Structure 1
């Protein structure tokens, strides 16, 4: 399980390969790569600047990984998140998981990414024509996290003795 914060561009292929790493128990690898896009909220974006709180960010991401591992039988998890100035089309984040089965891998990858968007202490500033602006988590990001909490509640309720 690896959590890294870095300024340098990462190698998606190398990260993806590390999730299997000749582990014969791996039946599925799923990853997500987020890129800097050229438009957000109807405005053209010229670039991003990402900040974080050293130490706190890594602990937050590790907690997200620990929670995912408690929910699904994961073999490996890789999170790499970049900070500093980023240009259009550059990769920002890699989240990858491996598991014996695809459903666990798909769900865990989505879970980690959803919580990363809302709970990890990163601050994103977009450079747009009207100036620089700080970007908050979207309502859709918060809704995505709420569905995981609802699913956990439903699973706990269904297991509870009558």
Structure 2
């Protein structure tokens, strides 16, 4: 099983994921365990590109922020009964400041919204509401809203 653990872009990188994929037999590339408090959207995009050819099932423990954005774009998503996703506005743009930050944050929010709408049963208005708040989504809500396909059963 592949793993995305920790902060995306710091603790978990596309380079690390590539190493995992290369080292894992094909039979172990079908699932990716996610326990991440978020991180870089750009790094999440790089990780997603590495994962797409393997079409893994996301096993979601904690998927906050960039990790939720990554997880919902995988072909199958299962969330642990105690798992959660966190959806919120982008809040930092790699240390830059000023008007360009506001524009970049708006761009990232649109990118996240498009991903959540495309891979759930939520409308754009509903996703925008989630993004504006610090929206913790528990397992049952994730399934009801189409952000996850089911709950992991033990």
User: Do both proteins adopt the same fold according to a TM-score greater than 0.5, normalized to the shorter chain?
Assistant: no
Considering fraction of residues, name the structure with more strand.
Answer: 1
TM-score normalised by L of structure 1: 0.32
TM-score normalised by L of structure 2: 0.33
